[in-house]
Structure 1
């Protein structure tokens, strides 16, 4: 509009002599021009302000969106602690319709923290510090408590109505729960909720120190379940776990809260009682014994009687340290088991018993050292096919070398290894070494069948079974060239587990042999139902075969029954040609013994007896 005024006056003709009117016109032109310039500037600034307003509005909406969606409590306070602003998350969790909340209601739910937190906030408001941090418990309106970490910062705006403090609350409840769970697990057995070994030893050690100062006695009851392994083998580990939980609950009922009750591992439990005599400890053991016997536990609807063997050691009578007391209580428990299981035994220094235990400990150390130093080796004994008079396969036999290189037979270390818990490692070692030899033979072009012995531990140890299965599934292994051997006594006494193991391993293509057949249970019923391919007749029936009519009758009967059941027979301890001829006459399929070939550290490749051999 100012441009129109300017154009109107600027189009008029100018006169030679300017009068007042012309001067006025000129002034109007200048004013119109200036006003137009100002209008243009106003328009530009208005556009800029609108643009900035839109930008600020977007930024504000973005920040508000962040505040409302962030899983944090975000609020501001004035100088009196009144909450001025609070985000949506904060409103949901703490405001609950109260628009006049002050910091005490938000930050302080625990009266024990109140004074400390008030002092911190006062220091922040008075600018003695620029920021503070503390943890507090927040009581929600739904009666739940949450753990919050608060971060408070002093704001710089000095306007009297402006917020003074910015507060951000982070909910750390889940982390606290996880931390508490980890702390609990560090001291408790997760299955039974009793103390674990670590916590038990700490508490026991502290109690011994107190008893020493106060000249009091302390009793340690150490016990485990009789035949717990049978339950695990027949019903599975889940059933065993359920039984352990039932027993733990029963033990809580018959012990005091001041006693230390722990599960040390497996089916082993320990109870520590302060200020009790030997007679009193025995009475508590009897109470535990009768209480556990009252448990109505059934296996496939058949009642199973729960019994424990309890060993007792007392401080200071039987030891002054927890290590000594645990060792002596353990010895007492073994003495109870040797007396017939389901017994209570107070530690007594039985010299002969201790001598045997120390002997086992010595051998345990020797076996462990031999494993660490790779002093276990395999020897290989040939097995002759009596129908073709050729070597059919080789049995892998474990030997241990002592520190001087002397060869030790399995009879010297295997029984100890089974008692002290090292047999599982030996089983793995034998499988590893035998399969290494097997793969080496294959790489040289020899498809030679190897037989590998397994202990009874393999029947109950699912981890070991998985290890064997995985080893056989290796593409470098030919399972059809592997035979596993397990003794008749072990297989029959763990029938269900033996059958499961055999079926699983045979599914890969391996074969199974039942070793030492004819001793122990001698049950042909089990032979009918066990998926074995070979039956190895025990050497005690073969050694005197040529001179013993009873052995001849028995061997013929075993051979006939095995053949009718579709099993091939192997005779052990064949030491001369006469025995070999008798075995062939009775229809025995294979022969093994010194007459066929002695165990050797390498496989001697031969066609049969008397043939020239060369080492592979």
Structure 2
């Protein structure tokens, strides 16, 4: 018996019994097996104790016939507060009608009077183990089935029609109103889902903090009919704010719908909801044009290739010349990563760089590029610029490696430059200041790349100790045909010059573009008009 009830030694119970003698006998035994006991003489007292100590209580044992409030009335009220609390009812054999009612309101176990203590202790341990298992499949906040339950249900299903519903920017709600109110919003949202999607026709799950799934119980339901129902729900949510303690909270949601007879509905719905968010579409139905399976396979293939490529030296630096705009003489080279296939095919970073970043493999690539840059600097005496992201700068591991490499190559660092990618949002300028000061001590120049795209900030240029600004290619590639782009580039160039920064134009691909850049007075130029990125062997 001890082995069976060892689980009880750390639990707290609420015990309600009006018979003094039975209460004392039972309580004395329970004290030897449980950590703490709250004792009530009637249902009303028991309910009050539960309300005051809900977070502590793990299990309830109660008599049925008690004064003021009987055990079943107490159970009904407690189940409203916590529907998952395990409850054992003690009743006389003659009270079978009470027993049936107890089962109907969700009581887990019962024990007959006079109480067999060995039986009671076994029932207590069984009840806790049952609820421990049940909690694996239930979301504690909304009491909806959780992701574990969804996965289990999907394993038993060969065809599904489902929607994944994502609350947009839910973290902002937590930031603005606090996590406590955020939890209340999720409960309200779950209740709204239950209203729109009846439990007779649908199963609703909470699968992540701000993500829910709705599965139709009938696969034969028309997908357009399901779309209309989801659309109505989306419109309702966006038109009706949630009120939490008089706070009006507006919600926006994105919905991805998928129907599949190959057990793929879940991953299709996940991917289409992500696709919908990128396209700013509130609701989309998956179709084969999204090529989701092919995309998965391509991602898996490239993750493996990147890992092996790092080990086997398949990543190489290619170097594109940056010339003096006036003379067209090469001033330096920008180091650009390329993946070399077994057959010698050179693969552009556009194919694998985002995958490398998402798979947390990008730090390996920045290290390779530093080695490639120093190889060109040391053997061919060339000035080389290497791209660096804010994520690299904020990584202690990456920065430790950069410092190590700079120290090992200290006599050559005056020919190395870093270009900070300005198209990525910088969330901590202190880290950037620290980085610039560190590499400046080694004689490295620092520039800002992609200026004019994304998060362009003139104030940032003033506050950072940089040497040059590279103007984003989106402003250069049509500058010979767009007066507006010409004005923007001229403004950036004049601003940079006033603060002593040199300017670089990238994507200079034709003589017409070059002539405009030269007329504006941009200091340096880069692009296919001068040369494509070159391998190490192609550079003299």
TM-score (norm 1): 0.50
1:327 aligns with 267
Is 1:360 the counterpart of 2:360? The answer is no
Match of 2:470 among 510, 513, 536: 536
Contact 1:296 1:303 in 2 (8 A): yes
Match of 1:476 among 380, 404, 408: 404
2:345 aligns with 406
Q: Which runs of 5+ in 2 are unaligned?
A: 1-19, 41-55, 60-125, 408-412
2:533 aligns with 599
User: SS at the partner of 1:425?
Assistant: coil
2:215 aligns with 272
Contact 2:317 2:373 in 1 (8 A): no
Match of 2:188 among 243, 250, 267: 250
2:98 aligns with none
1:115 aligns with none
TM-score (norm 2): 0.56
Q: Distance in 2 between matches of 1:303 and 1:249?
A: 15
CA RMSD between the two structures: 5.8
Contact 2:142 2:190 in 1 (8 A): no
User: SS at the partner of 2:344?
Assistant: coil
Q: Which runs of 5+ in 1 are unaligned?
A: 1-97, 110-134, 148-175, 213-217, 606-612
What are the residue-to-residue correspondences of 1:5-84 with 2, within 5 Å?
none
Is 1:311 the counterpart of 2:256? The answer is yes
Cα offset, 1:370, TM superposition: 2.0
Match of 2:237 among 287, 291, 294: 291
Greater mean alpha carbon deviation, residues 371-380 or residues 218-227: 218-227
Kindly tell me: are residues 284 and 531 of structure 1, through their superposed partners in 2, closer, same or farther at Cα, counting changes over 3 Å? farther
What are the residue-to-residue correspondences of 1:25-424 with 2, within 5 Å?
106-107=28-29, 136-137=33-34, 140=37, 187=137, 196-206=146-156, 208=157, 219-226=161-168, 245=183, 247-256=185-194, 260-265=203-208, 267-274=210-217, 277-278=221-222, 279=225, 282-283=228-229, 286-287=232-233, 290-291=236-237, 294-295=240-241, 305-313=250-258, 318-320=259-261, 323-330=263-270, 333=273, 337=277, 340-343=280-283, 345-347=284-286, 349=287, 351=288, 353-355=289-291, 357-358=292-293, 360-374=295-309, 375-384=314-323, 393-402=332-341, 404-414=343-353, 417=354, 423=358
TM-superposition CA deviations, 1:477-530 (whole Å, max 9, x none):
44985513325xx35xx5x64867745644644776443445679886776678
TM-superposition CA deviations, 1:387-437 (whole Å, max 9, x none):
9998665422122334533112234455xx46xx85463533332322444
Contact 2:164 2:213 in 1 (8 A): yes
Kindly tell me: are residues 433 and 539 of structure 1, through their superposed partners in 2, closer, same or farther at Cα, counting changes over 3 Å? same
Contact 1:289 1:308 in 2 (8 A): no
Kindly tell me: are residues 469 and 305 of structure 1, through their superposed partners in 2, closer, same or farther at Cα, counting changes over 3 Å? farther
Cα offset, 1:593, TM superposition: 3.8
Cα offset, 1:342, TM superposition: 2.0
The structure that has the greater radius of gyration is 1
